[in-house]
Amino acid sequence: MSMKKAFVVSMVAAVVGTSVVSAVSAAPAVKPAAAAAQVQNSSFTINGSTVVVRSMVKKGETLVSLRDVIKATGAQAEVHSGTTTITLNGHTVVLKANSTQMMVDGVKSTLAQPVTNVSGTSYVALRPLVSGLGGTIARRAGVLEISTVPLLEGAENPRFAGAGKLIVSKSDENGRTDYLVDTTSGKFELLLTTSGGSDLVVAPSGNQVAYTDAEGAVYVLDLNSKASRQITNDNSIKPELVWSADGSAIYFLQGDKGTVIAKLSLADGSIAKLVEDKVDYKENLSVSADGKKFIYTVTTLGTVTSDTTNIDEDNVSIDFSSNQQQIFSFNIDGSKPEAVKLTTTSDDKVFVLSTDGLKAYYVSVPSTDDQATLLSVDASQKAANVFADYDVEQAILSGGVLYVLAAQDDSNSVIYSIDTATGKQTKLYTVSADVSAITVAGSQIAIIENGRVLVNAGDSWRAVTK
């Protein structure tokens, strides 16, 4: 079992001027295209905007108006003696009228169709042109989506934040920087730079995020205004933040050992301790919609077996055989609130999830080479298989649906959805084994492949970072 599955700048402002566009369209006349090639107006999505581009299909390949694409992408173009030089985002494409030769960043390539002139307008194959300018093409609902926006490099930990937006992060020795990325164009903008703060946790509405600073104070950042407001200056350590279902409060584990489960009101900043049972090392907190039931794990540590009482001594012996992580539920609304132990097994338990605070879903990772499986368990302590067809590498929960990334073989992984109400399993995608993580929100899904974040674009996956 490989546990690797554990997660653009603005459109170029300068739009080509009338003189440049005229120069491109005024290239020396060449033999007209064959009558079978009919020019039509086609709607593309280019850098997030719907654009009408003149196009035609010639010998099964789509050719587009060079003038229209230059204008829509904001590229710069120069024409000399029938040779057009296009520059965009550090890339240079050189085309010759009526020629199949194309130079991309100084490297020669061959087009299947020559640059073709129709009624004074040059047409060139779409895909080689976009690729040469460093762009990408995907298809969604029958519409081609083209992006030539420079993409953010080295981003990680993608999370959807409303429709068509992802939050991604970049970390270095100075701290972490968070960005908001448009999933259609790849355009990105700075959200927050922090040193020692927590990850940004997206609210159910998708329009705000919560985080703590290095001292433990809690802030909420509005994704529309980009403004942050401090909710509390309480400086207790808060290792996990969980939004309430209605977005009015934030639950968190409190203390350096995650001993207490507490609730922070966004209205007045008050903090209420809900579970204070003196049990340390709580993690993986899930909260029910009514805010009264919790699922979490508790890790027991090794025990000192030597006679010495100074654990800093080199001769201290520790028995790690008792190291275990178990799943518990806690209902604060019961007549006698107390923790209920749901599991007793010694397997590793990762991606612990719950929809109602009573039943837990988790990935069981055996100590042997056997494949990991997705299980469910409740107060009966009887685990049930939820997904065991392939080696499970990640499970996430969104809108009452489980999404599973699993290794099918050495070359391919698969993504399944599982309805928690009916148990129905649906295979959604087969992806490369290089996919290391997924993230989902409603119908939106993104993957991380070889360090790049790609979003599903219907018939394909479109990179939004590089």
Q: What is the pLDDT of residues 42-83, one digit of tens each?
A: 999 998 889 999 999 999 999 999 999 999 999 999 999 889
Residue 356 is assigned to a structural domain of this protein: no
Written as one string, the DSSP assignment of 248-281 is: SEEEEEETTTT-EEEEEETTT--EEEEE------
- Residue 180's pLDDT band, with cuts at 50, 70 and 90, is very high
Q: Is the pLDDT assigned to residue 30 strictly greater than 50?
A: no
- Range list of β-strands (E), 183-239: 188-194, 201-202, 208-212, 218-222, 228-232
Q: Residue type for 78, please?
A: E
Residue 452 is assigned to a structural domain of this protein: no
For range 251-274, the mean pLDDT: 96
- Residue 367's pLDDT band, with cuts at 50, 70 and 90, is confident
Q: Is the pLDDT assigned to residue 227 strictly greater than 50?
A: yes
Judge whether 138 and 460 are in contact, CB under 8 Å: yes
Least confident range from 125-139, 233-247, 300-314, 360-374: namely 300-314
For residue 138, the model assigns a pLDDT of 84
- Residue 159's pLDDT band, with cuts at 50, 70 and 90, is very high
The CATH number of whichever domain residue 50 belongs to comes to 3.30.457.10
Judge whether 8 and 185 are in contact, CB under 8 Å: yes
What is the rounded distance in angstroms from the CA atom of residue 164 to the CA atom of residue 186? Answer: 10
Q: Residue type for 426, please?
A: T
- Residue 24's pLDDT band, with cuts at 50, 70 and 90, is very low
- Give the pairing of strands 40-46 and 143-147: parallel
For range 224-233, the mean pLDDT: 95
Tokens at 133, concatenated? 């300018």
Measure Cα distances from 27 to 39, 118, 265 in Å. 18, 11, 66
What is the rounded distance in angstroms from the CA atom of residue 220 to the CA atom of residue 216? Answer: 13
Q: Does 376 or 173 have the greater pLDDT score?
A: 376
For residue 305, the model assigns a pLDDT of 60
Least confident range from 14-18, 245-249, 298-302, 371-375: namely 14-18
Residue 79 is assigned to a structural domain of this protein: yes
What is the rounded distance in angstroms from the CA atom of residue 433 to the CA atom of residue 413? Answer: 5
Residue 131 is assigned to a structural domain of this protein: yes
For residue 169, the model assigns a pLDDT of 97
Q: Is the pLDDT assigned to residue 410 strictly greater than 50?
A: yes
Q: Does 323 or 335 have the greater pLDDT score?
A: 335
Residue 72 is assigned to a structural domain of this protein: yes
- Residue 198's pLDDT band, with cuts at 50, 70 and 90, is very high
Tokens at 365, concatenated? 């990772």
Q: Does 230 or 20 have the greater pLDDT score?
A: 230
Across the chain, what does the average pLDDT equal? 88
Q: Is residue 260 classed exposed, middle or buried when 0-12, 13-18 and 19+ CB atoms within 10 A define those classes?
A: buried
List the beta bridge partners of residue 63.
56, 125
Residue 22 is assigned to a structural domain of this protein: yes
Q: Going by C-beta distance under 8 Å and a sequence separation of 6 or more, which residues neighbour residue 382?
A: none
Residue 138 is assigned to a structural domain of this protein: yes
For 24, phi and psi rounded to 5 degrees?
-65, -45
Tell me the percentage of the chain whose pLDDT exceeds 90.
77
What is the rounded distance in angstroms from the CA atom of residue 446 to the CA atom of residue 464? Answer: 10
> What total of structural domains would you count in the chain?
1
For residue 368, the model assigns a pLDDT of 84
Q: Is the pLDDT assigned to residue 291 strictly greater than 60?
A: yes
What is the rounded distance in angstroms from the CA atom of residue 176 to the CA atom of residue 395? Answer: 25
Q: Does 39 or 17 have the greater pLDDT score?
A: 39
What is the rounded distance in angstroms from the CA atom of residue 256 to the CA atom of residue 275? Answer: 15
Q: Residue type for 399, please?
A: G
For range 143-156, the mean pLDDT: 91
Residue 52 is assigned to a structural domain of this protein: yes
Q: Does 35 or 328 have the greater pLDDT score?
A: 328
For residue 309, the model assigns a pLDDT of 57
Domain that holds residue 129: 18-147
